[in-house]
Amino acid sequence: MNLVIAVATLLALALRIYYQYTRPGFLLSVTEYDDGPYFGSAVRLVHGSLPYRDFVLVQPPGITLLMSPAGLLSNLTGTAWGMAIGRLLTALASTAGVVLAGLLVRHRGLLAVMVACGITAVYPNGVAAAHTVLVEPWLVLFCLAGAVAVFDGDKLATSTRRLAWGGAAFGFAGAVEAWAIVPVIVLLVLFAPQIRRAAVFAAGVAAGFVVPVLPFAAIAPRQFYQSLIVAQIGSRAHAHRVNLWVRLKNITGVVNLPLGHGGVLLAVLAIVAFAALAYVIAWYRTGQPPARLDWFAAVTAALAVVMFLWPPQFHYHFSAFLAPFLALVIALPAARLLAATQPAGATRPAEGGQPADGEQRGVSWQSRFAFGLAGLALAAMAVSQFQADSVTPKVLGPVPAAVQRIVPAGACVLTDQASLTINANRFVSSVPGCPQIVDSLGTDLALSHGLKPGTGAARVAAVAAVWRSAFSHAQYVLLTRINARRIAWTPGIQAYFDANFVQVYTSPKHLMLYARKGLRR
């Protein structure tokens, strides 16, 4: 089984590195909006600016703390390579999740390890989410680390130390992304009869969350609430609802396949039906109900699916959080069904693929069939994912060298997308009073109680004041062609901008660079 975990881990790493390195310049390119605020917040922190107090960050501070070493290193490498290091660390975190998934189920046998590790390794949006600094790979890493500590085989651990450390891992996962509350709630319910063990676990969760979060919340409680609750969780006026079929295609992991609505629905039904029937048959054959590990995986996966289907907002990388739980929902009942249907006298391979001493060396046809089918399915998924990785995505690409040539190092540059200035090595300014904005859209949402520029954020005095101040201090302004979706332009701000800035460069990707009139260059 160790060999299977190792092979799956290498496959996962190959897919994630292949994604980044087969695209010319991709590692140092602008590929997302969200990675700008996440990595940018770490750079701001190591330069003395605090999230929530000095700038809006719509996630808990976990990702900021995780990226702080790379942010500190960017003082030597530049922020572009600092971001690249953060991307590589995220790919490694995603890969480590494959190892943890294997450790969580290895007591169930070779089939469980093969399926759990394989699906976690090749799940399309798990691979895609690891291409840059996003929260989901780190969230999965700490949730799985917590699960490995909390579970002792199929049962919940009795060790106080394991429960405390497992809770702390889940707590820090919540400091990365609030979705960690889902598996925590499921575990607390499973702990319910053992109050003392539940209390130890809950104390670990509290410590893992409070220690990294409380200092930031205590320094700026109102801004903390506005950033995390108002901007991230609160309702948004006239929010566009993502299509149900798009969500289901991403959730089930068939995003790379040319399936219509019928094919997507069939994939959903196949997963649900397989897991349900496998448990029913195994329960009937053995007389044993599903173990607590099975309930943990199934209920967490179900709640995560509901969480992704309910609100209007959905992005591809959301479903990366579901990947290991979906893998467990398939792997655990498959292994249970195989064990329940083994004929008398047949054995399944022990660790390393060989029967244990004294056991019959025959392997049943059921085992051979299950291993063969799982291997073929995972191989097909891996090939499909490698093919998908070979397609050059539609991204903004590297920031043109002209931006660095025109804008001197240390200048004050305002932008609607922080990843632009990060990848241009123009994110850090030595100009006093330079705006600290890392998330332009998040700033609008936080200060306007959930409004975007298109839904009236510019009419909110606090939002308008932030942007007026930002433009009044900026020496350069670097805008994307969709900047109006992020910057709350008012007639007054637009008039000030037109009167004080002149366009000095336009890139083929429609990046527009403006310089303050009269500025020495």
Q: Give 346-360 as a DSSP string.
A: -----TTSSPPTTS-
User: What is the pLDDT at residue 349?
Assistant: 45
Judged by DSSP in three states, 476 sits in strand
- Give the span between the Cα atoms of 56 and 32, in whole angstroms: 18
In Å, the largest CA–CA distance within the chain is 88
410: its two tokens: 């240390």
Predicted TM-score (pTM) above 0.85: yes
For 515, the enclosing helix (H) or strand (E) is strand 512-516
Separation in Å, CA 154 to CA 95, 107, 202, 215, 336: 24, 8, 20, 37, 12
For 208-225, the pLDDT digits (tens) are 999 999 999 999 999 999
346 vs 123, residue with greater confidence = 123
Spatial CB neighbours of 306, under 8 Å, sequence gap ≥ 6: none
Contacts of residue 379, Cβ cutoff 8 Å, sequence gap at least 6: none
Q: Which of 239, 243, 245, 305 is nearest to 272 (CA)?
A: 305
Cα angle: 17, vertex 170, 330; to 5 degrees: 65
Separation of alpha carbons 304 and 291, rounded Å: 20
353 pLDDT higher than 60: no
Domain residue spans in the chain? Answer: 2-353+364-389, 401-516
Confidence check: pLDDT of 354 > 70: no
| pLDDT of 432 strictly over 80 | yes
Confidence of residue 143 (pLDDT cuts 50, 70, 90): very high
3-state secondary structure of 116: helix
CA torsion 40-44-45-50 (nearest 10°) is -110
List 515's β-bridge partners, or say none.
476, 502
- pLDDT of residue 357 exceeding 80, the answer is no
Cβ within 8 Å of residue 199, ≥6 positions away? none
Amino acid at 374: A
Query: Which pLDDT score, from 0 to 100, does residue 175 have?
Result: 97
Candidate from 12-21, 129-138, 205-214, 352-361 with smallest mean pLDDT: 352-361
Q: Which helix (H) or strand (E) holds 390?
A: none
Nearest to 93 by CA among 288, 320, 312, 281: 320
Provide CB contacts within 8 A for 26, sequence distance 6+: 20, 131, 395
Q: Is residue 167 within 8 Å of 208, Cβ to Cβ?
A: yes
Looking at the predicted structure, is the pLDDT value of residue 346 above 60?
no
